[in-house]
Structure 1
């Protein structure tokens, strides 16, 4: 089907989002980028926004309702991951059943009409945008950062130095199980002796 790439991209975005959430520690959730500036969401608010906004977009714009509350009863890191993993898995299953006509049909996107292909592309970009904000927070907190789309400083640095792509867990199922029982994530080599950026600070 012409739009399998959108479904496949959403599938990979699920594990990328959950992987970033797994990099936070429980005590990180209430911390803001600037401690007394409420304009910057903390990690808990980011998780709430992801769960609620994705539910609204899928229900109201894509017509896919998984029939579950978007938020967990207990707003803890592991519970957010379990809730989002379950609900996004159901959304993925529903998307796999949609045909070309459904994808190209126009529907409401706030106050305008757009095809569902366009809306899904914007949804994926929306998720990636907020995930980027969260990885910045992780670095500010001094946490290790695994790959999302390629190498990170903690997986070995820049791609041109053949740094590997390393995810914390190979699958969503392994992620939920690992975070539940406290299994260690994949080991990270660190940046090594090469620069982590194309413009390193002068020595």
Structure 2
């Protein structure tokens, strides 16, 4: 089918999102980058937003209702992981059944109309955008960051220095099993003695 790549991408975005959530500690959820600025979401609010926003988009724009409340009964990290894993898997299963005509149909997208292919691209970008905000919070909290798309400082630094791509878990089943036991993520080598960025000594004066 012409649009399997969109379904496959949604599938990979699921584990990327859950992997980021697994990198937080339970006590991190109320951390706000600036405690005096209520515009910033804390990790808990990011998890709430992801679950509620995706549920709304899928129900209203894709006509896919998984028949479950979007939020866990107990709003703690592991319960969010289980809730989103279960609901997104149901959405994935239904998406795999859709044909070309369904994907190319124009439906309401807020105040306008777009094809479902266009909306899925926007949905994936929306999730990735907020996931980037969460990885920034992880760095502020000095947590280890595993690979999302490629190497990170904690997996060895820059690709040109032969840094590795190391995922926290190989799949969602392993992630849930590992987090249920307090975390069984892969070991990380750390940044080593080489720079983690392309301009490690570059200051505001360009020197």
Scaled to the shorter chain, the TM-score interval is: over 0.9
Shift of 1:183: 3.9
Query: How many Å separate the matches in 2 of 1:160 and 1:119?
Result: 36
How many residue pairs align between the two structures? Answer: 203
1-structure distance, mates of 2:52, 2:168: 25
Q: Distance in 2 between matches of 1:183 and 1:126?
A: 27
Alignment partner, residue 2 of structure 1 = 2
Which residue in 2 is equivalent to 1:150? Answer: 150
Which stretch shows the higher mean deviation, 187-196 or 79-88? 187-196
Distance 1:10 1:20, change over 3 A: same
1:73 is matched with 73
Query: How big is each residue's C-alpha offset from its partner over 1:2-47, in whole Å with a ceiling of 9 and x where there is no partner?
Result: 1010000000000000000000000000010112211100000000
Shift of 1:202: 5.5
Q: Deviation of residue 113 (structure 1)?
A: 0.5
SS in 2 for 1:108: strand
- Does 2:2 correspond to 1:18? no
Where 2:71 maps in the other structure, the secondary structure is: coil
Please, what TM-score do these two structures have when normalized by structure 1? 0.98
For the residues of structure 1 that align with 2:115 and 2:161, how far apart are their CA atoms?
A: 41
Structure 2 Cα separation of the partners of residues 45 and 183 of structure 1: 22
TM-score, normalising length from structure 2?
0.96
Q: Which runs of 5+ in 2 are unaligned?
A: none
Which ranges of structure 1 fall in alignment gaps of 5 or more residues? none
For 1:103 and 1:162, locate their aligned partners in 2 and report how far apart those are by CA, in whole Å.
40
Structure 1 stretches of 4+ moved >6 Å: none
